[in-house]
Amino acid sequence: MSGVGACWDNAVVERFFGSLKNEWLLKVYHLTRQGMKQDVEQYIRYYNHERLHSANGDLAPVEFETKMSENSQILAGSKPMYSGAGNVPACLHPMT
């Protein structure tokens, strides 16, 4: 972790919440907590699957991670990191 006053350790989270607030929440009036919760969930899906990120070569985060995973598998000659169950990393699946 960085020292006091250094913002690099939480810059990614600050960027996400800034985008959430300015691109999404301030543009819609929310009548209920449930409505806001659903709106935030919808934004998270949009942010990860559709919104292009210049730091990722103008790819959505999920698309960028998929490409990086495929490239690393080709270079390493290893088997895929992801199982077929909804693109969840195999390490997160409960052991049977």
Residue 43 lies in a domain: yes
pLDDT of residue 92: 45
Using alpha carbons, select from 83, 69, 80 the residue that is nearest to residue 92.
83
3-state secondary structure (DSSP) of residue 57: coil
pLDDT digits (tens, 9 = 90+) for 14-34: 888 888 888 888 888 888 999
Calpha distance 92→19 (Å, rounded) = 28
Looking at residue 34, its pLDDT comes to: 93
Q: Which domain holds residue 14?
A: 10-92
Position 73 confidence tier, pLDDT thresholds 50, 70, 90: confident
Quote the number of domains for the chain. Answer: 1
Asked if residue 2 belongs to a domain, the reply is no
Distance set, CA 52 to CA 14, 15, 25, 59 (Å) = 17, 14, 19, 5
pLDDT digits 0-9 by tens, 60-69: 888 988 888 8
Please report whether residue 5 resides in a domain: no
Query: Is residue 95 predicted with pLDDT exceeding 50?
Result: no
In a domain, 1, yes or no: no
Query: Are 69 and 62 within 8 A, CB to CB?
Result: no
